[in-house]
Amino acid sequence: MKVIKDAIKSIKRDLCNAEDDIKNAIQYKVDRPEDAKMFYNSSIYILNGIKTKHDQIVADIKAYRAEHGEPPEPMMFIYNYEHEGYLEQMAHIKRMQDLYNSGM
């Protein structure tokens, strides 16, 4: 399904942006706290958007199953592979957000 492929590409971009933003938040926390907070909040906002996209992908897969049966194996392989990578990168970003909140 093309929409799932497009959503996966979008999530990849979003993860990179969220990681860049939290890195900037950490970098500027001491010297420019207002700017750091903006970057931190942006990283939170982006992760929330990723969750929305993920939830829709899951809903699309469920709808496909209801209408057509099991999705094609290659599609599910790609989804599962990408999903594992997302979980790892999101955990890394959340650890960095925790670091920001801990006062470093």
Alpha-carbon distance of 13 to 21, in angstroms, equals 12
Which of 19, 17, 11 is CA-nearest to residue 78? 11
Which of 31, 25, 30, 61 is CA-nearest to residue 43? 25
pLDDT tens per residue across all 104 residues of the chain:
788 889 999 999 999 999 999 999 999 999 999 999 999 999 999 999 999 999 999 999 999 999 999 998 988 898 899 999 999 999 999 999 999 999 76
Confidence (pTM):
0.89
Crossing angle of helices 73-101 and 2-28, in 10° steps, is 10
